[in-house]
Structures are given as structure tokens and as C-alpha cells.
Chains A and B, each alone.
Chain A
């Protein structure tokens, strides 16, 4: 069953990679990519002075807050542009350090925007028995893949093919659509896994007994569910990040003879499954194949300045920043789950309910989120 889903994901990935700009129907007809000299030469016209826009204003206090956020982002973007340019004119070391710092801060803020995996990763770690350390690790891998995707897109299209900005935009949108589709598939896959686990638990007891040692070893009638202990257990072992291959994790339960009292939260374990690299890679890959739009802009800008390497460095500094934000939000989500668990005191039923709600809710959220964004991404292409 798992292998079956992996296959679906694999096919989807292959399809996404092979997709021409017209796949998913969302992109504009790309303009011809005309070969020519690479980086854009500057076109000085000193008489021209660009018009400046008045700061934005939205009504009310919330509006004022968002206005400030927008204004800060614009200032930051201008600073980034200035940072890249200073690499050519000013003290190169100082300029490089300040560019890295700016990119990092830009990344931290930028990750609050859509498409950096905060919702997907937070939901995933909450739905699965993931620890804070693993949540952080997942956030960093996803951000690194996203940065590499952006660098790859620009290297191939802008440098190797000298494709136009329109073509690059079209491809970025394709990757975005593919990413959302994959996120929905991953959500579906996780949800089916959770529901199967749930089904096994709620199956009538005779069926369970009949399943024998090979089947799930969960039996409500025999177990006293003690969550506090179970969680400490998860924390203690989560840090090791064992690289198990849980192909057969459906049967990777604790062995309990009939009547044995289990002090682990086996029910939750059975619902979510232990750490699975396959699941984690599916999550980080689905998030990571969407290039960060901020990174694309910085890379192209750096390229036009003849400083592509600075753009690459800035992209990774930015990815570090986005990873921190996403990791912080994932940690917050895990904290909320922990809090929810504590609310129930020592009630096993409560802990069980929280685990189930988070497992099912998290997977459902990933599915709905991916599906909604995928549907939205099929809409008319943005003009700019």
C-alpha cells in the first residue's frame, strides 16, 4: 500500500519534472528564448530619475501594521539591491557581509509569505510524532532544496539558455503548481495512512485478536494509556534521528502479548508511525521544488550586475532565514500540541483524542491546503 503511494508520488514527480511550460494550463505562452549575449549590459541614462511612490496606507490599525510590513519589505529589497551593487564599488568584504546579513533578515521576514512550507511542515510535524529537533531539520532541508531549485532554474534558463524573464516566470509558475499538486498528494497519502491506522484501532476486538502477532498489537481493553511517559520517550529517542527504513512500518509496532500492559502510547504510534525518511523526503521535496520567488529575483538581479555568485550566496543566506522562521512556527505548532496534551492531565482518552485529532487534522490540512493552492495556481497567469 505504502509502496503504491510512493509510486504515485514518484510518477507525479517525474511528470512535474518533464512538464513543459504549458502543462497545468496556467502559464502564458512563453516568448521565444533568443540566444544572445548573456548578462544584461547596463544602459546608463543619467538624465532619468525614477519616480518615487508615496508610502502605502491602509485604513485602521491593522492596515497601518500591514502598511508598515510592506514598507519594511520594500526598504529591505532596495537595501538588497544596494548591497549587491556595493560589491562592485565599495569595500567588497564589508559589502559581502552586509549582503549576507540583509539576505538572512529578508529570508526571515519573507518566509511569512506563502510558499515556504510553514503550513505544510507545521501540519506535518503536528500530525506525525515528530520532535522539535526533527521539525527544525525538516524546515532546513526544505529551505535548502528551495534555494537549490532557485539556483538551478536561473542557472539553466537565464545563464545557459539566456531565456527571457517571461520564460523563467512561466517555469517558476509550473514548479509552483507542481509543488502544490505534490503537497496535496502528500496530504492524501498521509491521511490515508492515518485513517488506516485508525481503522485498525477501531476494528472490533475479535478481528484484532484474529490478526495475531503479525497484525497491529493494539488492544484498548488491555492497555492503560499513559501519555506523559510516552512523550518523554519520544523526546529521548527523537534526537538520534535514526535512519530506519520503515517500509514495513505498518507492522513495526511494539510486541505485546495478550494481557500485557503497555505504558507506551502505542495507539498514537500506530496512527502516526515512527520517523519515516520516505514521508519526510516527500514533504521536503513537495515544498522544495517551488523556487522561492524572492530568491529568483535576487539571483536575476545579481546576474544583471555580473555578480551571480553573490546572488547564490544571498539565496542561501535567505534560505537560512526562511528555515529559521519555518522551524520556529513548526516548534510553536508542536508546543501547542504539547499544551493540548497537558490540558488533559493524565487522561489517556484525552491524549488519545489529541493525537488522533492532530494526526487526522494535520494530514487533512495539508491535503486541503495543497488542493486549494493548486486550484488557485491554475487561474490566470499574473501579469508581472
Chain B
């Protein structure tokens, strides 16, 4: 049997596809793959005018990440990792968080685009054996009144390198002047079968490229809702 060029051309394309599909399949579950776990506690701060002014984040990391993060930072060798000794770590963490939107996405009503945030006012890292905790206060560029429309604060890493989960105990705190009729609560996860197709396609394609958004399906959300009068 003698091969002819057109015949080869078609089959080659088909099998290029097949080989590619096999490789994609082999690499698909890759994104479900966090390396760092963080337990989140968030505090929603209201100003005197009942507007949300800032969000205080407290993220406690797992033991493995902590061991890595504090390695070499006990500079005076007293066996204690003081706030001062951990300051360089806090600085690098918070500065590089800027590129990632602080993994904190504030949505007003149905707006898809998260509201702009200012650089953290204060930040520090504490170490309490065996885990470390990053604290920072994240001001909203413009204070936000939650009464006209509900406000949602999502905490997640789009690339899912870090798995954020709210603490079982005291996940959300409110401080300042919470407007009457408003409440701040953690969103309960609900099963939504319609999300399956999306999640599946994202699972396939999110591994490659810097714009991965695989982690969004694991978003943890704090809702600020107010009853209409």
C-alpha cells in the first residue's frame, strides 16, 4: 500500500488531536493542587458614617508553609520569632500580594469587577508554634455603603496555589458602626449542578497560563446584606 499525501494529511491532523487530547487528559487534574493552606478570619470595619472602610485579614498558615516561611529568620538566635524578626517576611508577603489583588475581592451588587483596594495600612506576621499568621488591614479606595446593594467579599487564590478556608470558629467579625438592618455573615456553600460544565472546562484549561481562575470555584464569601425598608 502506498501512502498518498492528502490521505496522510487528514489522518495526521486527526491524530495530532488525539495525541494532544491524551496529553491534556493526563495533565487535567493538575490545578486541584494547593501547596499552602490558610485559615481565614476577616473583620469588616465600618466607619462612623456606616460605610465599609476597610477589611482586616488574619490568615493562619499550615505547619509546612510556616516552617518554610520562618526558616532562617530567628536572627538573634534566641529561639523566638519576634514580630521584628518576621517583619521582612510580612513585607515580602504583602508586597507580592499586591499583584494578586490581596486575594480579596470586594463586589458591590452584581458588579463583576472587584472594587479597588489601597495598599495595606499595617501588616505583620506572628509565629505561634507550630503555625504563623499574617495580619493586614486593607482599606477600600472609597468607603462603601452596603445599604443600596449587597456587598460580597470573596477570599481566594485564582491559581489555587493557596487554599483559603474560613475558620470554623469566629470566621467573621464586625467592628465600627454597622448600619441598622444590616448583617454580615459567611455564605453557605450550595450545590449548583449548572456549575459542573464550567468547572470541568476550567479544570482542563486552567493549568496553563497566568490567567488561571481555577481557584474561584473555591471562593469563600462574606456577605453584607441589608433589609430594604
A residues touching B (Cβ–Cβ < 8 Å)? Answer: 28, 31, 33-34, 36-37, 40-45, 48, 50-64, 66-67, 69-70, 73-74, 77-78, 80-81, 110, 112-114, 118-119, 122-123, 126, 158, 162-169, 220-221, 224-225, 293-294, 296-298, 300-301, 303-304, 329, 332-333, 336-337, 340, 347-350, 352-354, 356-358, 360-362, 365, 369, 372-373, 375-376, 379-384
Known contacts A114-B207, A119-B23, A224-B1; 8 additional CB pairs below 8 A are: A42-B79, A59-B189, A73-B34, A77-B62, A112-B32, A297-B65, A365-B19, A375-B210
A301 touches B11 (CB 8 A): no
A358 and chain B: residue at smallest CB distance: B19
A167 touches B72 (CB 8 A): yes
A66 to B203, Cβ gap below 8 A? yes
Which positions 53-105 of chain B face chain A at CB distance < 8 Å?
Answer: 60-65, 67-77, 79-81, 88-89, 92-97, 99-100
B210 in contact with A349 (CB, 8 Å): no
Q: How far is the CB of B55 from chain A (nearest CB, A)?
A: 17
Beta-carbon contact of A362 and B70 below 8 Å: no
Residue among A53, A165, A300 making CB contact with B165, cutoff 8 Å: A53
**A297's closest neighbor in chain B, by CB?**
B64
Q: Which residue of B12, B81, B89 is within 8 Å of A356 (Cβ)?
A: B12
Q: List 14 A-B contacts (CB under 8 A).
A: A40-B81, A45-B129, A55-B165, A58-B189, A69-B32, A114-B207, A165-B67, A165-B89, A296-B68, A329-B26, A357-B12, A361-B19, A381-B96, A382-B161
Whole-angstrom CA separation of A73 from B30 in the bound complex:
13
B111 within 8 A of partner (CB): no
Q: Which of B11, B72, B195 contacts A60 (CB 8 A)?
A: B195
Given A43-B129, A61-B193, A297-B64, do A304 and B161 touch, yes or no (CB 8 Å)?
no
Among A33, A296, A356, residue most surrounded by chain B Cβ atoms (within 10 Å): A356
Separation in Å of the A69 CB from the closest CB of chain B?
5
List 5 A-B pairs, minimum CB-CB distance, nearest first.
A53-B165, A57-B189, A357-B15, A380-B99, A41-B79
Complexed CA–CA distance, A332 and B16 (Å): 16
Minimal Cβ-Cβ distance residue in A for B193: A60
Tell me whether A298 and B64 are in contact in the complex, defined as CB-CB below 8 angstroms, given that A113-B33, A165-B69 are known contacts: yes
Given the known A-B contacts A56-B165, A62-B196, A365-B19, are A352 and B68 also in contact in the complex, defined by CB atoms under 8 Å? no
Q: In the complex, what residues of B have CB within 8 A of residue A375's CB?
A: 210
Size of chain B's interface in residues, with CB distance under 8 A? 96
Alpha-carbon gap, A164 to B131, bound state (A): 17
Q: Assess the A43–B127 pair: CB atoms within 8 A.
A: yes
A62 touches B203 (CB 8 A): yes
Bound CA span A60–B202, Å: 13
Q: Check if B61 sits within 8 Å of A52, measured CB to CB.
A: no
Is A353 a contact of B15 with CB atoms below 8 Å?
Answer: yes
A40 CA to B67 CA in the complex, in Å? 8
Check if B7 is an interface residue, CB within 8 A of chain A: yes
Residues facing A in B194-229 (CB within 8 A) are: 194-196, 199-200, 203, 207-210, 217-218, 220
Contact B217–A63 (Cβ < 8 Å) = yes
Q: Which residues of chain B are near A356, meaning CB under 8 Å?
A: 8, 12
A158 neighbours in B (Cβ, 8 Å): 71-72
- Residues in B with CB closer than 8 Å to A112 are 29-30, 32-33
A361 to B210, Cβ gap below 8 A?
Answer: no
The CA of A362 and the CA of B22, in the complex, are separated in Å by: 10
Contacts A62-B196, A375-B210; is A28 near B11 (CB within 8 Å)? no
B169 contacts chain A at the CB level, 8 A cutoff: yes
Residue of A nearest to B36 (CB): A384
Q: Is the CB of A383 within 8 A of B100?
A: yes
A62 touches B64 (CB 8 A): no
On whether the beta carbons of A58 and B199 are closer than 8 Å, the reply is yes
- The answer on a CB contact under 8 Å between A59 and B19 is no
Q: Are B129 and A44 in contact (CB under 8 A)?
A: yes
Closest Cβ neighbor of B212 among chain A residues? A376
Q: Does B40 contact A (CB under 8 A)?
A: yes
Q: B180 to chain A: which residues have CB within 8 Å?
A: none
Establish whether residues B22 and A336, one from each chain, have CB atoms under 8 Å apart when the complex forms. yes
Q: Which of A70, A293, A296, A376 contacts B163 (CB 8 A)?
A: A70
CB pair B89 A353 closer than 8 Å? no
Kindly provide the distance from the CB of A111 to the nearest chain B CB, expressed in whole angstroms: 10
Which residues of the partner chain B approach A333 to less than 8 Å between Cβ atoms? Answer: 22-23, 26
> In the complex, are the beta carbons of B26 and A119 less than 8 A apart?
yes
Does B27 contact A66, Cβ atoms closer than 8 Å?
A: no
Residue of A nearest to B5 (CB): A202
> In the bound complex, what is the Cα–Cα distance between A373 and B36 (angstroms)?
20
Nearest CB on B from A325, distance (A) = 10
* CB of B135 within 8 Å of the partner chain: no
In the complex, whether B167 has a CB less than 8 A from a CB of chain A is yes
Asked whether B192 lies within 8 Å of A59 as measured between CB atoms, the reply is yes
Answer whether A37 and B167 are a contact pair too, CB < 8 Å, given A60-B195, A62-B196: no
**Alpha-carbon separation in the docked complex, A4 to B128 (Å):** 55
- Given A41-B79, A58-B218, A384-B61; A164-B71 close (CB under 8 Å): yes
Given the interface contacts A53-B165, A63-B217, A304-B67, does A357 sit within 8 Å of B37 by beta carbon? no
**Residues of the B chain whose Cβ atoms lie less than 8 Å from the Cβ of A303:** 67, 71
The answer for the CA separation of A187 and B18 in the assembled complex, in Å, is 19
CB distance from A103 to the nearest CB of B (A): 13
CB-based contact A40/B196 at 8 Å: no
Q: Is B2 an interface residue (CB 8 A)?
A: yes
A154 to chain B, nearest CB (A): 9
Which residues from chain B contact A340 at a C-beta distance below 8 Å? 15, 18
Expressed in whole angstroms, the Cα–Cα distance for A379 and B211 within the complex equals: 10
